[in-house]
Amino acid sequence: MVRNERTLARVLIRQTGMSFGRWRQQLPLMLAVRWLGAGASVQQVADDLGYESASSFVSMFRKNLGSPPARYVSERALSSAISM
């Protein structure tokens, strides 16, 4: 159980290496990658994360991860298959 905000901040930094604000910004990306990797559509992920459109989600995704969701997921799947 976390007793206060500073304790939470210390726990987050220790366990994730990120401040609370940074973690909060990264959470949608982490969820998106997980859901897309599990087979969810870009539209479904955009809707689930509260984006008004799939294109605005794709824009955010590309800005933060360097490629659109479909390419990012396919490249990760390929690199996982190669490393096996």
CB 29 within 8 A of CB 65: yes
- Measured in whole angstroms, the distance separating CA 38 from the mean position of its chain's CA atoms is 13
pLDDT at 82: 76
pLDDT in tens, 12-46: 999 999 998 898 889 999 999 999 999 999 999 99
pLDDT in tens, 35-80: 999 999 999 999 999 999 999 999 999 999 999 999 999 888 777 6
Q: Return phi, psi of residue 58, to 5°.
A: -60, -40
The better pLDDT of the pair 34, 83 is held by 34
Q: Where do the domains of the chain lie?
A: 25-83
CATH number of 25-83: 1.10.10.60
pTM of the model: 0.77
pLDDT at 6: 86
Q: Quote the CA–CA distance of 15 and 63 in Å, as a whole number.
A: 26
